[in-house]
């Protein structure tokens, strides 16, 4: 699992550097009054945290994800304060808010540009929101910064009718792998998915299982299984992986027979596991299934840009 991290911004004040006029302090013109300062927002504290780790590298499909421990009702101050740059230039992206998949968080804010991030880029977020309103009776209680990078622009395309996965890096094809996608009764979702995790932590030891192994357990009584599956790369919350399937070799490259995952031959799965970065893009077509929803992992790219700009569940009040 990715570690959430953020750096608190230090509050700074600028000192006056000008000299004093010998005639004394100036007076306001007659009949003129200085405006009263706006009252500071008050209310219940809203704590903000980040999914991404400061200083880490991700694939070009990785949205910036901010968590809120209370559901904010107004994002205007948040969006006005937030700045995101790519290689020092404004990113030109937008925020989209949705219910959080984490049980200890109430809401998520995802930020992405219209197209994927560029490869080999430096991305910086400044979020000086401490003390700003998060809606009536809500105030942000911390400020954050994030500095992360993108690696190579790895984008894979899976065509489930052709049963193949074309893997590209920085625009060049590096491998074509035979696949077996979801069977007709358990089809793979179509659309754009993003690598979420490689392997998993063993709850007994707190350490990553060897060989990228994931314990896959069926929740379908008519098709029970409990398997330890090596070289597993997660791409949805609901349980889709790109993984090795030694038991399905006769169908890989020929027909779709899986429970929704993308089955690969063992050597290919091992290679893809080593190649993939969290945040890499994997797109699917001709699956026979429904489109992946934005909340099922990092399905952000399946939301049309015009819809994304509207902000999701929290509308700005600019």
Residues 165 and 244 in one domain: yes
Q: Is residue 23 part of a domain?
A: no
Give 74: exposed, middle or buried? Use CB within 10 Å, 0-12, 13-18, 19+.
Answer: middle
Query: How many structural domains does the chain have?
Result: 2
The confidence score (pLDDT) of residue 6 equals: 33
Nearest to 244 by CA among 259, 261, 257: 261
Q: Is residue 269 situated within a structural domain?
A: yes
Q: Are residues 122 and 206 in the same domain?
A: no
Angle at 211 between CA 207 and CA 216, to 5 degrees: 80
| 261 annotated active-site | yes
At 13 the pLDDT is 25
220 and 135 share one domain: no
Residues 130, 161 share a domain: no
Q: How far apart are alpha carbons 174 and 201 in whole angstroms?
A: 29
Question: Measured between alpha carbons, how far is 279 from 172 in angstroms, rounded to an integer?
Answer: 18
Residues 161 and 283 placed together within one structural domain of the fold: yes
Per the annotation, the verdict on 20 as an active-site residue is no
113: domain CATH number is: 2.60.40.3710
The confidence score (pLDDT) of residue 317 equals 53
What is the pLDDT, as a whole number, of residue 16?
Answer: 34
Instruction: Give residue 226's domain range.
Output: 154-287
Per-residue pLDDT of the chain (318 residues; tens, 9 = 90+): 343 333 232 222 223 333 333 334 444 445 555 566 667 888 999 999 999 999 999 999 999 999 999 999 999 999 999 999 999 999 999 999 999 989 999 999 999 999 999 999 999 999 999 999 999 999 999 999 999 999 999 999 999 999 999 999 999 999 999 999 999 999 999 999 999 999 999 999 999 999 999 999 987 777 788 899 999 999 999 999 999 999 999 999 999 999 999 999 999 999 999 999 999 999 999 999 999 999 999 999 999 999 999 999 997 554
This prediction's pTM? 0.86
* Predicted pLDDT at 10: 27
Phi/psi at 131 (5° precision): 85, -5
Residue 185 belongs to some domain of the structure: yes
Write the DSSP symbol of residue 276: -
Residues 256 and 161 in one domain: yes
Give the pLDDT of residue 36: 60
Rounded distance between C-alpha atoms, residue 236 and residue 288, angstroms: 17
Question: For residue 33, what pLDDT is reported?
Answer: 58
Q: Are residues 139 and 54 in the same domain?
A: yes
The predicted pLDDT at position 23 comes to 39
Whole-number pLDDT of residue 41: 82
Domain co-membership, 233 together with 170: yes
Whether 13 maps to a domain, the answer reads no
Spell 109-146 as b/e; 16+ CB within 10 A means b: bbbbbeebbebebebbbbbbbbebbbbeebbbbbbbbb
The pair of three-digit structure tokens given for residue 311, joined into one six-digit string: 């902000």
Cβ proximity of 66 and 49 under 8 Å: yes
């Amino acid at each position: 699992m990715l570690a959430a991290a953020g750096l608190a911004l230090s509050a700074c004040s600028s000192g006056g550097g000008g000299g004093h006029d010998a005639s004394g302090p100036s007076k306001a013109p007659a009949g003129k009054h200085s405006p009263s300062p706006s009252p500071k927002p008050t209310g219940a504290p809203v704590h903000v945290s980040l999914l991404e780790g400061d200083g880490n590298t991700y694939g070009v499909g990785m949205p910036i994800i901010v968590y809120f421990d209370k559901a904010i009702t107004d994002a205007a101050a948040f969006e006005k304060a937030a700045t995101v740059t790519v290689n020092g230039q404004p990113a030109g992206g937008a925020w989209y808010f949705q219910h959080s998949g984490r049980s200890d968080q109430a809401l998520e804010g995802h930020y992405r540009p219209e197209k994927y991030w560029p490869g080999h880029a430096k991305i910086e977020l400044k979020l000086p929101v401490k003390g700003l309103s998060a809606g009536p009776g809500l105030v942000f209680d911390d400020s954050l910064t994030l500095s992360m990078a993108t690696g190579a622009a790895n984008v894979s395309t899976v065509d489930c009718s052709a049963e193949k996965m074309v893997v590209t890096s920085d625009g060049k094809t590096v491998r074509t792998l035979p696949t077996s996608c979801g069977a007709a009764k358990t089809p793979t979702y179509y659309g754009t998915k993003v690598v979420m995790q490689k392997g998993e932590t063993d709850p007994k030891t707190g350490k990553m299982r060897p060989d990228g192994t994931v314990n896959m357990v069926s929740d379908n009584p008519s098709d029970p299984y409990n398997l330890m599956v090596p070289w597993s790369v997660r791409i949805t919350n609901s349980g889709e992986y790109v993984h090795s399937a030694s038991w399905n070799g006769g169908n890989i490259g020929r027909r779709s027979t899986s429970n929704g995952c993308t089955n690969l031959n063992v050597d290919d799965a091992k290679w893809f596991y080593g190649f993939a970065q969290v945040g890499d893009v994997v797109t699917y077509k001709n699956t026979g299934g429904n489109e992946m929803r934005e909340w099922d992992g990092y399905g952000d790219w399946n939301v049309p840009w015009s819809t994304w700009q509207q902000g999701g569940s929290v509308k700005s009040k600019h």
